[in-house]
Amino acid sequence: MLSLLGFLMISTFMYLIMSKRMFAMTALILIPIVFALIGGFRAEIGDMMLDGVKKIAPTGIMLIFAIMYFGIMTDAGLFDPIVAKILKVVGGDPLKVVIGTAILALSVSLDGDGTTTYIIVVAAMLPLYRRLKMNPLILTATAFLASAVMNILPWGGPTARVLSALHLDSSQVFTPLIPAMIVAAGWVIFVAYVFGKRERARLGIITITEDADALVAEANHEDLALRRPKLLWLNALLTLALLVGLFMDVVPLPVLFMVAFAMGMLINYPKLGEQRGRLNAHAGNAVIVAGMVFAAGIFTGILAGTKMVDAMSQTIVTLIPNSLGPHLPILTGITSAPFTFFMSNDAYYFGILPLVTKAATQFGVSVEAMGRASLLGQSVHLLSPLVPSTYLLAGLAGVDFGDHQRFTLKWACGTVLVMLVVCLLLGVVPV
C-alpha cells in the first residue's frame, strides 16, 4: 500500500509540473501533504516536514548567498576585462573567435546561472560574429556546451537538487566530479576548435579595426554607474579566495558564501542605499531558487518520514535483475540524459533519483555514487524544451530553437560520454 501510494504521489507530482498545471514549488509542498493525509499520517505531517526542511537548510542558505555574491561581482564589472581581452586577442580570426567564446563562457559560468552566461557571452560576441559573417549557431552551441559543464557547480540547480534529494553535501558529490569537469571543459575547447577550423576554412581571416573596449561598453546594457573598475583586483582576489576555500573545503559552504557576500557588498557598495538596490536587484532569483530547495525538503521529508521511499525501493529492487543491480551508477549516468531531457530536473531529482538510489543501496552501491552519476546527463537536459534559459540563448542570438537543438545535440551527447568515461576511469562512478 505504501509503495503504491508513493508511486502515485510522484506520478501526480511529475504530471502536474510537466503539464504546467502547477508551479514546481507549490507542488513540492502540497502534493506530499495530500498523499500523507490519504495514508493516515495526519499527526506526524508537521514533524516530517520540519525534519526535511532542517536537513536541506544549509543548501538553501548556500544558494541564496552564492547567487547574491556572483550577482554583485557581475554588477561591479569583474568579467568586463575578460571580455575586452578576448575581443582584442581574437581579432578577425574565426578560429580564435570561437575558442575565445568558449573561454569566456566557461569563465562567466562560474556563477552557475545559464541565463547570466548567455546574456554576457552573446552580448559581447554576437557583434563580432555578425561582423565576420560567422554562423550564429556556433555561438549558441559553444556558449551552451560551456554553460552545461559549469551548470553542475554546487550552487547550480542540478547539484542543489541532488544535495537536497539525497541529503548529501557538496564535498561528497561535487568535489569528486572536479576532474571530470576539467576534462569536459577541455572537450568544450576542442569542439570550439573544430567549429573554428570550419569557419576559418569557409571565411578566411578578416581584418577588423573596432576597439575592443568600445565594443564591451556598447554591448553592456547594465547601468555603468554600478561598475567598480578601481576595485577589479580586489574583487578578483576575493573571488579567488572564495574558490580556493570551496575546493579545499576549509569551512562549510554556506558560511563561506555568507562571508564572501558580506565582504563583496561592503567593498563595492558601502552606502546603504546602494546595498538596498543590489539586494532588490538579485533577491528575486535567490528567493525563487532557495524557496524551491526548502519546498523540496518538505517533499523528501514526507517521502522519508512515511516510509514510502523504503517501500518503493523494495518494489524496484524486486524488478531489477541481480546482474544489473551493481551497475546502476553506470546506467544512471547514461539514462540521466534522456530522462532529464523529457522531464524537468525537479521531476527527475525529486521523483526518480531517490527511488533508484534507495534500490541501488540494496546492491551495495553508495548514495554518493548515484548522486554523481545522476549529474552527468545535464548537457543533454539543457537542450530540453522544458528549459527556459535555452530559449533565451536562441532568442538573443536570433537563431531558431529547433536549429540550435539539432546543431548542438551530438556535441552535448559527447560531453556526457566524456564525463562518464573520466568518472569511470577515476572510480568516481563505480563500474
DSSP string, 31-79: HHHHHHHHTT-GGGHHHHHHHHHHHHHHHHHHHHHHHHHHHHHHHHTTT
Residue 96 pLDDT exceeds 60: yes
Local confidence band at 146 (pLDDT 50, 70, 90 cut-offs): very high
pLDDT recorded at residue 412: 94
User: Which region among 53-62, 185-194, 252-261, 274-283 has the lowest average model confidence (pLDDT)?
Assistant: 53-62
Q: For 253-267, write each residue's pLDDT tens digit.
A: 889 889 999 999 999
Cα-only R_g, the chain: 22
Q: Are 99 and 91 within 8 A, CB to CB?
A: no
Residue 417 pLDDT exceeds 90: yes
pLDDT recorded at residue 386: 63
Residue 222 pLDDT exceeds 60: no
Q: For 270-291, write each residue's pLDDT tens digit.
A: 999 999 998 988 887 778 777 8
Local confidence band at 313 (pLDDT 50, 70, 90 cut-offs): low
pTM score, two decimals?
A: 0.67
Q: Are 338 and 381 within 8 A, CB to CB?
A: no
Residue 301: C-alpha distances to residues 16, 94, 124, 160, 231 (Å): 20, 52, 44, 16, 44
Q: For 13-40, write each residue's pLDDT tens digit.
A: 778 876 778 877 888 899 999 999 998 8
pLDDT recorded at residue 113: 66
Give me the phi and psi of 266, to 5 degrees please. Answer: -65, -40
Residue range 311-338: mean pLDDT, rounded: 78
Residue 336 pLDDT exceeds 60: yes
Rounded Cα gap, residues 180 and 418, in angstroms: 8
Stronger pLDDT, 283 or 184, i.e. the higher one: 184
Rounded Cα gap, residues 331 and 334, in angstroms: 5
